Amino acid sequence: MNTQEYIDQGDKYFLHTYNRFPIVLERGEGVYLYDTDGKKYLDFGAGIAVFALGYGNKEYNEALNAQIAKLIHTSNLFYSPCAVEAAKEICTLSGMDRVFFTNSGTEAIEGAIKAARKYAYTRDGHADHEIIAMQHSFHGRSYGALSVTGNDHYREPFGRGVSNIKFAEYNDIDSVKALVTKDTCAVILETVQGEGGIYPAKEDFLKELRQLCDEKDILLILDEIQCGMGRTGYMFAFEKYGIRPDILTLAKALGCGIPVGAFLMTEKCAEKSLCPGDHGSTYGGNPLACAAVVEVLRQFKERDIAGHVKATAPYLKEKLGELKDKYSFIKDVRGEGFMQAIELDFPAGEIVTAAQKEGLILLTAGSNILRLVPPLIIGKEHIDAMTQILDKIFSCH
């Protein structure tokens, strides 16, 4: 089939929950993607911050092929070597004590919410505890994850969702304190807000929040589904702040394309939280997914991916700053590491479309914000190429 035939057939059979671009991507190599017409795209979206190690990674592909040849699935009624190894590696790297592997980020959030409420139920003997989430947050589209997503646009068509959820202002500790009651069991937030516009947590806010949670025996849940796994220049974004969450959620780059997520917790939380019968997943943590996790973590360590981000991100920030200085319609440039935003004073969608025509893939985060979340292996030459394309587009605006 040609490109248009693929699009027409997809539109006929797909449920229309995505406004897809008229591009049919066929293969990838390094930090580039190619469509069915052979057009080459510099990828600054990474499958929404997923493909951290780039496309066509030989060792990654070999590790998955080797696991496929041995065993793909068994269920969690049994142990598997790669699941045990993946659990050990991710707990060791994160400083957490226990892990549950899921199939996605939204499932990780679901598990984190259940774990927090079970912890409080074990402690207090009742099940009507409250969770404080943040305005403008995004945690996923399942009922539980949607319930703690601080955007009315996403929630309104689907009713109340999970009960006893309150919303504070991100980076405003007083707004959190005003919502705390004796029934508060958890506070959930992204260490760097993603869909909400790429806003990093302020250091004093996160440290004061950690202290507040300690004082009140409230669990701190950090969602690092997008900002974790080296994207900010730290293996986990919370490391920059010198704190540790009680529950941590991960996905996206954890599997670099294989659907896998995880929620991790401290031993203190695990002791009073989920036990046999409370939670489960048929596919979660199967041998293939965990083989991907093991290989991803191996390459992150051996290649010091987080260190590369930390070393290269200032150059990205510098080039984005030059664009801001040049064009008055750029209101702000912000972010951490390879998770950057360009805030415009007009809709960002038209820039995304124009960039695609020039062979550059970008994302948005809100109506007027360009989101840059490239593979974590990009170099200065890729940053230069991206900047040149944006400069060309901006000069015509």
In Å, what is the CA distance from 352 to each residue of 169, 219, 244, 259, 329? Answer: 29, 39, 36, 26, 16
Q: Are residues 298 and 309 in the same domain?
A: no
In a domain, 66, yes or no: no
Q: Are residues 320 and 274 in the same domain?
A: no
In Å, what is the CA distance from 224 to each residue of 42, 157, 168, 261? Answer: 25, 27, 19, 11
Provide the residue-wise pLDDT of the chain in tens; the chain has 397 residues. 899 999 999 999 999 999 999 999 999 999 999 999 999 999 999 999 999 999 999 999 999 999 999 999 999 999 999 999 999 999 999 999 999 999 999 999 999 999 999 999 999 999 999 999 999 999 999 999 999 999 988 888 888 788 999 999 999 999 999 999 999 999 999 999 999 999 999 999 999 999 999 999 999 999 999 999 999 999 999 999 999 999 999 999 999 999 999 999 999 999 999 999 999 999 999 999 999 999 999 999 999 999 999 999 999 999 999 999 999 999 999 999 999 999 999 999 999 999 999 999 999 998 999 999 999 999 999 999 999 999 999 999 8
Q: Are residues 232 and 266 in the same domain?
A: yes
Cβ atoms of 317 and 338 within 8 Å: the answer is no
Q: Which pLDDT score is estimated for 366?
A: 87
In a domain, 211, yes or no: yes
Q: Are residues 287 and 159 in the same domain?
A: yes
Q: Are residues 16 and 139 in the same domain?
A: no
In degrees to the nearest 10, what's the CA dihedral of 270, 259, 88, 67? 140
In a domain, 62, yes or no: no
Q: Which pLDDT score is estimated for 153?
A: 83
* pTM for the predicted model, two decimal places: 0.97
For 341, list phi and psi in degrees, rounded to 5: -125, 140
Q: Which pLDDT score is estimated for 65?
A: 98
Sheet holding 130-134, edge to edge: 98-102, 261-265, 247-250, 219-223, 184-190, 130-134, 165-168
Number of structural domains, the chain? 2
In a domain, 61, yes or no: no
Q: Which pLDDT score is estimated for 35?
A: 97
Q: Are residues 289 and 309 in the same domain?
A: no
Which residue range is the domain that position 171 belongs to? 71-302
Q: Are residues 191 and 276 in the same domain?
A: yes
Q: Are residues 214 and 250 in the same domain?
A: yes
Tell me which DSSP letter residue 39 carries.
Answer: -
**What CATH number did the domain enclosing 266 receive?**
3.40.640.10
For 274, list phi and psi in degrees, rounded to 5: -65, 135
In a domain, 273, yes or no: yes
Domain boundary among 245, 276, 302: 302
**What CATH number did the domain enclosing 327 receive?**
3.90.1150.10
Domain boundary among 302, 329, 356: 302
In Å, what is the CA distance from 121 to each residue of 111, 148, 174, 287? Answer: 15, 19, 26, 33
In a domain, 65, yes or no: no
Q: Are residues 291 and 316 in the same domain?
A: no
Tell me which DSSP letter residue 129 carries.
Answer: -
In a domain, 254, yes or no: yes
Give the C-alpha separation, 104 to 296, whole Å: 16
Q: Are residues 43 and 92 in the same domain?
A: no
Beta strands in 67-120 (DSSP E): 98-102
Angle at the Cα of 231 from the Cα atoms of 19 and 44, rounded to 5 degrees: 40
Cβ atoms of 227 and 192 within 8 Å: the answer is yes
Handedness of CA 236, 60, 387, 315 (dihedral sign): positive
In a domain, 233, yes or no: yes
Q: Are residues 293 and 309 in the same domain?
A: no
Give the C-alpha separation, 284 to 250, whole Å: 13
Q: Are residues 189 and 151 in the same domain?
A: yes
Domain boundary among 302, 326, 348: 302
